[in-house]
């Protein structure tokens, strides 16, 4: 009998097939990690923006001159006797834009000048998805 040296064609094909199957799982892991990284970055910026809005609202004593603050200059306000709602729209780089061009929205609601609620949303396929929300009783300063 002859002594075998090297690998047969079948062994090489099987090893390439196994490597191909393993590489599919590895590529899938990278794609998932990339998606999760983008989601985490979006959430991080959303939390920072929402918290910034909350801090500005916490510091205001008279909500009648709210648009004098730079952060609320582009805000859409709606007000009745007990409720003030502030809506701001942002593009993908978190710059103020009109509603039609918006990728993100932040809504701040102030009830009776005491309760503040701020929410941030992302627009996905004409649907708003809540990213982050925060609530505060103003007497908790």
DSSP structure string for 9-44: HHHHHHHHHHHHHHHHHHHHHHHHHHHHHHHHHHHH
Q: Does any domain span residue 3?
A: no
Q: Is the residue at 73 inside a domain?
A: yes
Residue 141's pLDDT is what? 45
Better-scored residue on pLDDT, 109 or 139: 109
Nearest to 138 by CA among 46, 55, 36: 55
- Percent of the chain scoring above 90 in pLDDT: 67
As a whole-number percent, the residues of the chain with pLDDT over 70 amount to 95
**Residue 3 pLDDT level (bands cut at 50, 70, 90):** low
Span 122-141, average pLDDT: 85
Residue 130 has pLDDT above 50, yes or no: yes
Structural domains in the chain (count): 1
- pLDDT score of 118 more than 80: yes
Position 32 in a domain: yes
pLDDT surpassing 90 at residue 31? yes
Task: Give domain status of residue 4, yes or no.
Answer: no
Domain span at residue 41? Answer: 9-140
Whether residue 48 is predicted with pLDDT greater than 80 in this model: the reply is yes
């Amino acid at each position: 009998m002859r002594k075998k040296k090297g690998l047969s064609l079948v062994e090489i094909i099987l090893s390439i097939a196994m490597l191909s199957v393993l590489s599919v799982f590895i590529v899938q892991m990278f794609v998932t990690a990339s998606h999760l990284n983008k989601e985490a970055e979006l959430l991080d910026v959303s939390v920072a923006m929402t918290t910034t809005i909350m801090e500005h609202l916490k510091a205001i004593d008279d909500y009648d001159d709210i648009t004098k603050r730079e952060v609320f200059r582009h805000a859409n306000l709606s007000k009745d006797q007990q409720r003030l709602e502030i809506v701001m729209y942002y593009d993908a780089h978190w710059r103020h834009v009109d509603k039609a061009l918006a990728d993100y929205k932040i809504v701040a609601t102030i009830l009776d000048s005491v309760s503040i609620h701020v929410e941030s949303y992302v627009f996905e396929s004409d649907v708003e998805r809540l990213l982050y929300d925060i609530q505060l009783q103003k007497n908790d300063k």
